[in-house]
Amino acid sequence: MDGEVIKEVRERNDIVEVISSYITLKRVGKNYVALCPFHQEKTPSFTVSPDKQLWHCFGCKLGGDVIGFVQRIENISFGEALRKLAERVGIRIHRERSKEEALRSRLIEINQLAMHFYERMLWSNAGEVARAYLKARGISWEIAKKFHLGYAPAEWEALSNYLREHSISPEEAVSAGLLVKTETGDRYYDRFRDRLMFPIMSGSGEVIGFGGRTLSDNVAKYINTPETPIFQKRNVLYALHIATSAIKETNSAIVVEGYMDAIALHQFGFANTVATMGTALTPQMLSQLRRYAQTIYLAFDADSAGMNAMLRSSSLFKQEGLKVKVVSLPKGVDPDECVRKLGVDVFKSLLESSLEMFDYKVECFLSSPDGEKASSNALRQLTALLMELDDPLERERAMQRVAMQWAEGDGGRVIQLIEAMRSALKRAEARKQIDRRETHKTGDIVEQTIIDHTKSALPKGVVQAERELLAAMLQDERVARIVLELLPPQEFITDLGRQIAPIVAACIENNEFRNISHYISELQDERLRSEACGLMMIELNFISSKEAIEGRVQTIRRFKRKQQLKTLREIILKKAASGAIDSSSQEVKELLKLERELRSTT
């Protein structure tokens, strides 16, 4: 990608404006702060600098420029983020598309044609049966058009003929998942026939697949587009492209299982609703929701496979930093039926009284046959539940609630049960520690030993001195020039210093210091790039004079001399053991010189 284009995209996309379109920023002094969208936190540590056009989180240590932010929060490639920001400010990027991009574009084009065909069929005479079904389900024509609902005729080649008329080959339509090739290979037929059609769109509104609900009784109720290069069910949330603005506005999303559930809730005013299309929430789906919301309301049928899977996979929500609440729907009632038959106010009250995931799991446990009374099996199940909680206070509250129910008001029994639970938790924690040690006996522990050795080889004072010098060098050209005169780039000792110092030196030499943040943003190593962005956000009240700079340089030099002394002594000892050295040798002279230099700086 042309460097000048990248530079122009960075310069024309104000970082505060772009990030504000994803999260709420608050001005604090000359910077902006927010709760980090990339990890869970209660106190804002995410900082955006309008002056430097950089962002950095002092909690999770991530950081970068405006392109890097969009890349991470949208979970897209650098090129995709660059194109998105270029489009935002009207910059045209001329380039040849890859084969993959050309195929993606073609498949979206085919799906778009299919959507128009199905829509036209719904509102034609052929779609009368589908319209009757929508009317019976209480779906308005306005909402049907908003979701681009359609109808697939019962004929075997209705869509096939339409696509052929629009120069789409049968092979291409098979690739899009719209046609099926017969076993004999001599003809093609429509995958979706006599079905109400639900176009499935990406987060940006591209048609990537379809769901079809049968209007007959002798076939599968719902079928979806099979996996294609542009459609993987695990990556897609139905109606996200419509719900995004409402999700941002409410900082929450209602997640349901089916197409009709999502459409009905939208019709009755719950515009922040998305659907998983009958599957459990996946890490990919949660990653998308995390961009726009902090709270997720799960409105699944209590007995559904999706809800059971959610209860088993609750750790996923914790990893994504999401607060999850479970809506307790009446038994046998789905969200669609709830709003249509019981009313909007009932569903609102269910949302308001929804339980956090752990509390819901405890309630389910206590109402189960195993959880009705204290038994060894019940204690094991409860211990597994309690192990999900990191907060000791939450664990204690949960134990007290369960003990009160089990003890049926007997105060002495309550204390006995709580002690039994605490003992079970201690045993579980001990087993967890043993398992962790067993897991890390091989390669991981070797790598950790190397990391620990590297950390111990560099004293904290030395590392801190170099970090403070780097922070000052990245923010103040005058300081950078002084430091580089005293300490050339090759004499820096940390990985970060060896990467950053040459960049600073090159920027000064080429009169590009004003663009140093752009060069930092182009560091390939994400850890070093994020660390450097963090240094550029630090206030420079610790280096206010040349003496302060020289003191830190001296700290680094003394450490290097000590390391050189140690190495020389080892060499001299080895040579002395074999009689290959005397007091006039070069190594001895160098050793004496280093010792004199060290004494002079003490």
CA torsion angle for 57, 525, 13, 41 (degrees, to 10)? -20
Q: Are 174 and 185 in contact (CB under 8 A)?
A: no
203 is written with which tokens? 């987060």
Among the three residues 439, 470, 493, which one is the final residue of a domain in this structure? 439
Burial label for 178, CB within 10 Å (0-12, 13-18, 19+), is buried
User: Please, which pLDDT band fits residue 484 given cuts at 50, 70 and 90?
Assistant: very high
Burial 505-519 (b: 16+ CB within 10 A, else e): bebbeeeebeebbbb
Among the three residues 198, 231, 264, which one is the final residue of a domain in this structure? 231
| Mean pLDDT, rounded, of the chain | 85
Res 444: pLDDT:
40
**Residue 474 belongs to what H/E stretch?**
helix 460-475
Please state, as a whole number, how many other Cβ atoms lie within 10 Å of the Cβ of residue 561: 16
Same domain, 105 and 227: yes
- Tally the C-alpha atoms within 13 A of residue 520's C-alpha that lie toward its C-beta: 35
Flag whether pLDDT at 445 surpasses 70.
no
Res 522: pLDDT:
81
User: Please, which pLDDT band fits residue 518 given cuts at 50, 70 and 90?
Assistant: confident
Does the residue 447 lie in any domain?
A: no
60: CB partners within 8 A, 6+ apart: 36, 38, 39
Same domain, 145 and 243: no
Same domain, 480 and 583: yes
Q: Are 1 and 79 in contact (CB under 8 A)?
A: yes
Does the residue 529 lie in any domain?
A: yes
Name which residue leads in pLDDT, 172 or 364. 172
Using DSSP's 3-state secondary structure scheme, residue 365 falls into helix
Quote the domain boundaries for residue 381: 368-439
Of 157-171, 180-194, 464-478, where does the model show the most confidence? 157-171
Res 481: pLDDT:
92
The domain total for the chain is 5
Same domain, 338 and 401: no
Contacts 24+ apart (CB under 8 A), 441-446: none
Per-residue pLDDT tens digits for 286-309: 888 887 888 999 998 866 666 676
Name which residue leads in pLDDT, 76 or 112. 112
Per-residue pLDDT tens digits for 347-374: 999 999 999 888 888 887 777 776 666 6
The CATH number assigned to the domain holding 481 equals 1.10.860
Same domain, 407 and 350: no
Flag whether pLDDT at 528 surpasses 80.
yes
- pTM value > 0.75: no
Determine the angle formed by the axes of helices 376-386 and 392-407, rounding to 10 degrees. Answer: 160
Flag whether pLDDT at 55 surpasses 90.
yes
d(C-alpha 181, C-alpha 174), whole Å: 7
The CATH number assigned to the domain holding 8 equals 3.90.580.10
Burial 204-236 (b: 16+ CB within 10 A, else e): eebbbbbbbbbbeeeeeebebbeebebbebebb
Res 584: pLDDT:
56
> What percentage of the chain reaches a pLDDT higher than 90?
44
Same domain, 462 and 594: yes
246: CB partners within 8 A, 6+ apart: 271, 272
DSSP string, 230-289: TB-GGG--BTHHHHHHHHHHHTEEEEESSHHHHHHHHHTT-TTEEE-TTS---HHHHHHH
Determine the angle formed by the axes of helices 477-486 and 495-509, rounding to 10 degrees. Answer: 110
User: Please, which pLDDT band fits residue 119 given cuts at 50, 70 and 90?
Assistant: very high
Of 22-26, 97-101, 441-445, where does the model show the most confidence? 22-26
DSSP string, 38-58: TS--SS--EEEETTTTEEEET
Flag whether pLDDT at 442 surpasses 50.
no
Res 332: pLDDT:
86
Whole-angstrom CA distances from 198 to 194, 210, 227, 276 are 13, 6, 16, 13
Res 210: pLDDT:
98
User: Please, which pLDDT band fits residue 458 given cuts at 50, 70 and 90?
Assistant: confident
Per-residue pLDDT tens digits for 268-289: 999 999 999 988 888 889 888 8
Of 28-42, 454-468, 534-548, where does the model show the most confidence? 28-42
Name which residue leads in pLDDT, 73 or 577. 73
Mean of the pLDDT values across residues 123-141?
A: 97
Flag whether pLDDT at 196 surpasses 80.
yes
Mean of the pLDDT values across residues 67-71?
A: 92
d(C-alpha 128, C-alpha 125), whole Å: 6
Res 401: pLDDT:
80
d(C-alpha 209, C-alpha 231), whole Å: 6
Same domain, 423 and 487: no
d(C-alpha 169, C-alpha 372), whole Å: 62
Name which residue leads in pLDDT, 76 or 477. 477
Name the one residue in this structure whose structure tokens are 């979706």: 192
d(C-alpha 430, C-alpha 250), whole Å: 42
Please state, as a whole number, how many other Cβ atoms lie within 10 Å of the Cβ of residue 466: 24
User: Please, which pLDDT band fits residue 592 given cuts at 50, 70 and 90?
Assistant: low
d(C-alpha 522, C-alpha 269), whole Å: 45
395 is written with which tokens? 């664990």
Does the residue 579 lie in any domain?
A: yes
Does the residue 449 lie in any domain?
A: no
d(C-alpha 535, C-alpha 31), whole Å: 14
Per-residue pLDDT tens digits for 203-214: 889 999 999 999
Using DSSP's 3-state secondary structure scheme, residue 214 falls into strand
Does the residue 550 lie in any domain?
A: yes
Per-residue pLDDT tens digits for 490-510: 889 888 898 899 999 999 998
Three-state SS string across 85-138, please? HHHHCCCCCCCCCCHHHHHHHHHHHHHHHHHHHHHHHHCCHHHHHHHHHHHHCC
347: CB partners within 8 A, 6+ apart: 265, 268, 270, 335, 338, 339
Flag whether pLDDT at 390 surpasses 50.
yes
Does the residue 360 lie in any domain?
A: no
Res 459: pLDDT:
83
Among the three residues 54, 88, 122, which one is the final residue of a domain in this structure? 88
Whole-angstrom CA distances from 597 to 1, 482, 491, 553 are 50, 22, 17, 15
Res 46: pLDDT:
93
Does the residue 445 lie in any domain?
A: no
Whole-angstrom CA distances from 378 to 229, 384, 403, 426, 462 are 47, 10, 12, 17, 55
Rg of the chain taking only CA atoms, in angstroms: 32
Does the residue 569 lie in any domain?
A: yes
Res 40: pLDDT:
74
Q: Are 272 and 234 in contact (CB under 8 A)?
A: no
The CATH number assigned to the domain holding 286 equals 3.40.1360.10
Same domain, 112 and 217: yes
User: Please, which pLDDT band fits residue 72 given cuts at 50, 70 and 90?
Assistant: confident
d(C-alpha 55, C-alpha 68), whole Å: 9
Mean of the pLDDT values across residues 391-395?
A: 78
Name which of 204, 198, 355, 207 is nearest 291 in CA terms.
204
Same domain, 468 and 419: no
Using DSSP's 3-state secondary structure scheme, residue 532 falls into helix
Same domain, 164 and 249: no
Per-residue pLDDT tens digits for 315-345: 677 767 788 999 999 988 999 999 999 999 9
* Identity of the residue numbered 34: A
Same domain, 337 and 242: yes
Res 418: pLDDT:
84
Flag whether pLDDT at 577 surpasses 70.
no
> What percentage of the chain reaches a pLDDT higher than 70?
85
Same domain, 467 and 566: yes
Report the alpha-carbon angle 116-118-123, nearest 5. Answer: 95
